[in-house]
Chains A and B, each alone.
Chain A
Amino acid sequence: MNRLRTVRDTIASRGMALITVASGGVLFLIILGLFLKSRPILASGSFFGLMASSNWHPLKGEFGFLPFIAGTLWTTGTALIIAVPPCILTAIYLSEYASKRMRQAAAPFIDLLAGLPSVIYGIWGVLAVVPLIKNHIAPACGVSSSGYSILAGGIVLAIMIVPVIIHVIHEVLRTIPVELREASLALGASKWQTVRQVVLRKALPGVIAAVVLGLSRAFGETMAVLMVAGNVARVPGSIFDPAYPLPALIANNYGEMLSVPLYDSALMLASLVLLIIVVIFNIFSRLILKTVERRVC
Chain B
Amino acid sequence: MTTNPHIRADRLNVYYGREQALKNISIGIPANRITAIIGPSGCGKSTLLKSFNRLLETNEQVTISGSVSVDGENIYGQGVEVTAVRKKMGLLSQRPYPLPMSIYDNVAFGPRLYGIKKKQALDELVERHLKQSSLWQEVHHRLNDPASSLSIGQQQRLCLARGLAVEPEIILGDEPTSALDPASSQRIEQRFLELKNDYTIIIVTHILRQARRLADYIIFLYMGEVIEAGPAREIFEHPKEKMTREYINGTIS
A-side interface residues toward B, CB under 8 Å?
Answer: 99-100, 177-190, 193, 197-198, 201-202, 294-297
B38 at the interface (CB under 8 A from A): no
The CA of A185 and the CA of B162, in the complex, are separated in Å by 12
Interface of chain B: mostly helix, strand, loop or mixed: mixed
The CA of A183 and the CA of B165, in the complex, are separated in Å by 13
Please determine whether A179 and B93 come into contact, CB atoms closer than 8 angstroms: yes
Please determine whether A179 and B148 come into contact, CB atoms closer than 8 angstroms: no
The CA of A190 and the CA of B86, in the complex, are separated in Å by 10
Please determine whether B58 and A185 come into contact, CB atoms closer than 8 angstroms: yes
Please determine whether A183 and B166 come into contact, CB atoms closer than 8 angstroms: no
Number of B interface residues in the complex (CB < 8 A): 29
The CA of A144 and the CA of B69, in the complex, are separated in Å by 67
Chain A contacts for B99, CB-based, 8 A: 180, 183-184, 197-198, 201
Please determine whether A189 and B83 come into contact, CB atoms closer than 8 angstroms: yes
Which partner residue on chain B sits nearest A183 by CB separation?
A: B97
Of A188, A201, A296, which one neighbours B86 at CB under 8 angstroms?
A188
Q: Which of B67-100 contact A (CB under 8 A)?
A: 83-84, 86-87, 89-91, 93-95, 97, 99-100
B159 at the interface (CB under 8 A from A): yes
The minimal Cβ–Cβ distance linking B50 to chain A, given in whole angstroms, is 8
The minimal Cβ–Cβ distance linking A193 to chain B, given in whole angstroms, is 7
Interface of chain A: mostly helix, strand, loop or mixed: helix
Please determine whether B100 and A202 come into contact, CB atoms closer than 8 angstroms: yes
Chain B contacts for A201, CB-based, 8 A: 99-101
**A-B complex: 6 closest residue pairs judged by Cβ atoms:** A188-B87, A186-B91, A202-B100, A187-B110, A188-B83, A183-B97
Please determine whether B83 and A182 come into contact, CB atoms closer than 8 angstroms: no
Which partner residue on chain A sits nearest B109 by CB separation?
A: A187
The minimal Cβ–Cβ distance linking A93 to chain B, given in whole angstroms, is 14
The CA of A293 and the CA of B55, in the complex, are separated in Å by 29
Q: Known contacts A180-B97, A181-B58; is A189 also within 8 Å of B146 by CB?
A: no
28 A–B pairs (Cβ distance < 8 Å), ordered by A: A179-B97, A180-B97, A180-B99, A181-B58, A182-B55, A182-B58, A182-B91, A182-B93, A183-B91, A183-B93, A183-B162, A184-B109, A185-B58, A186-B86, A186-B91, A187-B110, A187-B113, A187-B163, A187-B166, A188-B86, A188-B114, A193-B113, A197-B99, A198-B99, A201-B99, A201-B100, A296-B100, A297-B100
Known contacts A181-B58, A187-B113, then 9 further A-B pairs from the complex at CB < 8 Å, ordered by chain A residue: A177-B97, A179-B97, A183-B162, A186-B90, A187-B110, A189-B109, A201-B100, A296-B100, A297-B148
Of A177, A179, A188, A294, which one neighbours B110 at CB under 8 angstroms?
A188
> Among the interface residues A182, A183, A202, A295, which one has the most CB atoms of the partner chain B within 10 A?
A183
Chain A contacts for B83, CB-based, 8 A: 188-190
Please determine whether A186 and B55 come into contact, CB atoms closer than 8 angstroms: yes
The CA of A73 and the CA of B141, in the complex, are separated in Å by 45
B-side interface residues toward A, CB under 8 Å?
Answer: 53, 55, 58, 60, 83-84, 86-87, 89-91, 93-95, 97, 99-101, 109-110, 113-114, 146, 148, 159, 162-163, 166, 172
Please determine whether A186 and B100 come into contact, CB atoms closer than 8 angstroms: no
Chain A contacts for B87, CB-based, 8 A: 187-188
Of B84, B86, B146, which one neighbours A187 at CB under 8 angstroms?
B86
Q: Known contacts A100-B60, A198-B100, A297-B148; is A188 also within 8 Å of B93 by CB?
A: no
Which partner residue on chain B sits nearest A176 by CB separation?
A: B100
Of A181, A187, A193, A297, which one neighbours B162 at CB under 8 angstroms?
A187
Chain B contacts for A296, CB-based, 8 A: 100-101, 146
The minimal Cβ–Cβ distance linking A255 to chain B, given in whole angstroms, is 52
The CA of A267 and the CA of B110, in the complex, are separated in Å by 59
Chain A contacts for B53, CB-based, 8 A: 186
Which partner residue on chain B sits nearest A187 by CB separation?
A: B110
> Among the interface residues A187, A188, A190, A295, which one has the most CB atoms of the partner chain B within 10 A?
A187
Please determine whether A185 and B97 come into contact, CB atoms closer than 8 angstroms: no
Chain B contacts for A187, CB-based, 8 A: 86-87, 90, 109-110, 113, 162-163, 166
The minimal Cβ–Cβ distance linking A131 to chain B, given in whole angstroms, is 44
Which partner residue on chain B sits nearest A295 by CB separation?
A: B146
